[in-house]
Amino acid sequence: MIEVSHVTKRYGDKLAVDDLTFTVKPGIVTGFLGPNGAGKSTTMRVILGLDAPTSGSVRVNGKVYRDLPAPLQEIGAMLEARAIHTGRSAFNHLLAMARTHGIPRSRVDDVIEIVGLGDVAHRRVGGFSLGMGQRLGIASALLGDPEILILDEPANGLDPEGILWIRNLLTGLAADGRTVFLSSHLMSEIALTAEHLVVVGRGRLIADTTVAEIVAQASENSAVRVRAPDAARLRDLLAADGVTIVSDTPDVLDVHGLDSRRIGTLAAAAGIVLYELTPQTASLEAAFMRLTGEAVEYHAGARATAPATPIAELERAA
């Protein structure tokens, strides 16, 4: 359990995290989502006691990080920025870390096996590829066999094989009942493994919700695309309470509130020719953007715009 309460972090005059409050619940995977520069890495550094919050506090299993008697055995972390001396071998790095807690050498061999670095464990880390570096980061996080894992953008810059590996690893950790707090700027990546979502933008909390809720929203708002030469007549026919119809081009209608079977039946009864009748499933990414779009508008007082805009804005601001 990680409790972040009213954390603000300021670097000089730059506000990186702004009054952030959320809880990472035990036993599930929580996604930490937001565009680059939204304050995710800063929040993680504050949780891990690396950076002191300007105000507010963080508790890990009820304690401030620096008061944990054996931090690596309660919470394992992999930060986005490399945190390993390039001149040391993977084995020696892990051994030095293990020594601080009196963790046996056999555990070092175990985590090297788990992340599949056996062949290169005695080579200098400086020569590691990005993927090998990520694996070593994961090995460091697993070293103390902690219940909580914090992973900052673990799939960043990985090749497809590496991404698949991370995904399987996360699934395994989740199945194992561990608490995982995982940051990413990609919804698609998070949605595959996370149950809960904490969304931030510009250092502020935008949403604290579940993936299921977002999926539900996404299907609720899904549309049916209809192409018909006589779109105007079809439009009148379909118009009813709870039905919205959007039309960008004259012969195409996006119908919300009716399913394709109902639209087809109505059209046939009225003798209207259809060229296309396609259910549109809103992607998670789109649902996420709608969610953050509304949230940004609500929390930050930004203008109401098309769903995609706020994120793009944030990215530019960052």
Residue number with CB closer to other proteins (100 or 188): 100
How far is the first Cα of the chain from the last one, in angstroms, to the nearest whole number?
29
Q: Check residue 28 for interaction with other proteins (CB under 8 A).
A: no
Q: Check residue 36 for interaction with other proteins (CB under 8 A).
A: no
Q: Check residue 16 for interaction with other proteins (CB under 8 A).
A: no
User: Do residues 218 and 283 lie in contact, with contact meaning Cβ atoms separated by under 8 Å?
Assistant: yes
Q: Check residue 129 for interaction with other proteins (CB under 8 A).
A: no
| Stretch of 75-83, 151-159, 188-196, 283-291 lying at the interface with other proteins (CB under 8 A) | 75-83
Whose structure tokens read 């219940």?
147
Which member of 41, 43, 134, 140 binds other proteins (CB under 8 A)?
A: 140
| Stretch of 67-75, 203-211, 219-227, 290-298 lying at the interface with other proteins (CB under 8 A) | 67-75
Which member of 100, 129, 219, 265 binds other proteins (CB under 8 A)?
A: 100
Please state, in angstroms and as integers, the Cα–Cα distance from residue 293 to each residue in 126, 166, 310, following that order: 41, 29, 5
Residue number with CB closer to other proteins (172 or 279): 172
Residue number with CB closer to other proteins (120 or 207): 120
Q: Check residue 68 for interaction with other proteins (CB under 8 A).
A: yes
- Please state the closest distance from residue 8 (CB atom) to other proteins, in A: 14
Q: Check residue 101 for interaction with other proteins (CB under 8 A).
A: yes
Q: Check residue 82 for interaction with other proteins (CB under 8 A).
A: yes
Which member of 21, 36, 57, 86 binds other proteins (CB under 8 A)?
A: 86
Q: Check residue 269 for interaction with other proteins (CB under 8 A).
A: no
Write the interaction track for other proteins spanning residues 161-190; mark x where CB under 8 A is met and - where it is not.
Answer: ---xx--xx-xxx-xx--------------
The size of the chain, in residues, is 318
Q: Check residue 236 for interaction with other proteins (CB under 8 A).
A: no
Q: Which residues bind other proteins (CB under 8 A)?
A: 45, 48-52, 65-66, 68-73, 77, 79, 81-89, 92-93, 95-97, 99-104, 107, 110, 113-116, 140, 142, 144-145, 164-165, 168-169, 171-173, 175-176
